[in-house]
A and B are shown apart, each in its own frame.
Chain A
Amino acid sequence: MEQKLERILSRVQKPARYTGGEYNEIVKDKSAVDLRVAFCFPDTYEIGMSNLGLQILYGAINREPEMWCERCFAPWGDMEEELRREKIPLYALESGDPIGDFDVIAFSLGYEMAYTSVLNMLELAGVPYRASERKELTPVVFAGGTSCVNPEPMADFLDFCVLGEGEEADIEALRLVERAKKEGWDKPRFLREVSKIPGVYVPSLYTPEYGEDGTLRALTPRDGAPERVTKRIIEDLDSAFYPDRAIVPSTEIVHDRVVLELFRGCVRGCRFCQAGFAYRPVRRHGTEFLLEKAKSLLESSGYEEITLSSLSTSDFKGLGELTDGLLDWCEPRRISLSLPSLRADNFSMDLMERVQKVRKSGLTFAPEAGSQRLRDVINKNVTEEELLNSCRVAFEGGWNTLKLYFMLGLPTETDEDVIAIAKLANKVLYTWRQYASNKARGVKITVSTSMFVPKPHTPFQWEAQVGTEEYLRRVRLLRDNITSKSITYNWHSPEVSLIEAALSRGDRRVGKALENVHAAGGRLDSWSDYFDFERWLRAFSDAGLEPGFYASRERGEDEVFPWDVIDLGVRKSYLLRERHEAYAGRVTPDCRVKCMGCGANCLLEGRKCDE
Chain B
Amino acid sequence: MSRLLFKKEGRAKFISHLDLMRTMQRVFIRAGVKIKHTEGFNPHPYMNFAMPLPVGTESVCELMDFETDAPIDLAALPAALNAVCPEGIEALEAFDSDNKFKYIKWLDIEARLFYYNKVHRPEELMSFYGAESIIMEKRTKRSVSQVDIKPLFTGLTVEAAGDGELLLKARLAVGEPALSPAQLISALSQISPELAPDYAAFKRREVIDKDMNPFR
User: Which A residues are closer than 8 A to B by beta carbons?
Assistant: 1, 3, 6-7, 9-10, 14-16, 18-23, 248, 250-252, 299-304, 334
Contact = CB atoms under 8 A, between A and B. Distances in A.
A302 B14 contact: no
11 contacts: A15-B14, A19-B11, A21-B10, A22-B86, A22-B87, A23-B27, A23-B86, A248-B86, A251-B19, A302-B26, A304-B25
A248 B55 contact: no
Contacts of B19: 16, 250-252
A14 B55 CA distance: 9
Interface string B23-47: 1011111100000010000010000
A250 B29 contact: no
B53 interface: no
A303 B19 CA distance: 13
A16 B13 CA distance: 8
A10 B56 contact: yes
Contact of A3 (B11, B37, B114): B114
A23 B84 contact: yes
B22 interface: yes
Contacts of A15: 14, 55-56
Contacts of A250: 12, 15, 19, 23, 86
B16 interface: yes
B134 interface: no
Q: Which 8 A-B pairs have the closest CB atoms?
A: A302-B26, A302-B29, A21-B87, A21-B11, A15-B14, A302-B30, A19-B11, A23-B86
Contact of B56 (A9, A20, A334): A9
Given A3-B199, A16-B15, A302-B84, A252 B26 contact: no
A520 B37 CA distance: 52
B88 interface: yes
B85 interface: yes
Interface string B192-214: 00000001010000000000000
B15 A302 contact: no
Contacts of B84: 23, 302
Interface in B32-72: 37, 43, 55-56
Nearest to A332: B34
Given A6-B201, A23-B86, A299 B56 contact: no
A143 B201 CA distance: 40
Given A22-B86, A299-B30, A252 B22 contact: yes
Given A14-B16, A300-B30, A302-B26, 11 more contacts: A1-B11, A9-B14, A16-B14, A16-B15, A18-B14, A21-B12, A23-B26, A23-B85, A248-B86, A252-B19, A252-B22
Contact of B88 (A14, A21, A300): A21
Nearest to A20: B11
Q: Pick from B30, B84, B88 the residue with the most CB of A within 10 Å.
A: B30
Contacts of B11: 1, 19-21
A304 B28 CA distance: 12
A303 B26 contact: yes
A20 B12 CA distance: 9
Nearest to A93: B11
Contacts of B23: 248, 250
A14 B25 CA distance: 20
Nearest to B86: A23
A1 B87 CA distance: 13
Contacts of B56: 9-10, 15
A546 B165 CA distance: 58
A7 B14 CA distance: 11
Given A15-B55, A16-B14, A304 B86 contact: no
Nearest to A14: B16
B206 to A, nearest CB: 23
A92 to B, nearest CB: 13
A23 B28 CA distance: 13
Nearest to B43: A334
Contacts of B26: 23, 248, 301-303
Q: Pick from B12, B19, B29, B201 the residue with the most CB of A within 10 Å.
A: B29
Contacts of A23: 26-27, 30, 84-86
A23 to B, nearest CB: 4
A21 B86 contact: yes
A602 B22 CA distance: 47
Contact of B25 (A1, A22, A302): A302
A27 B87 CA distance: 11
A250 B27 CA distance: 11
A244 to B, nearest CB: 13
B28 A302 contact: yes
A288 to B, nearest CB: 24
Contacts of B87: 21-22
A301 B86 CA distance: 11
B20 to A, nearest CB: 8
A301 B10 contact: no
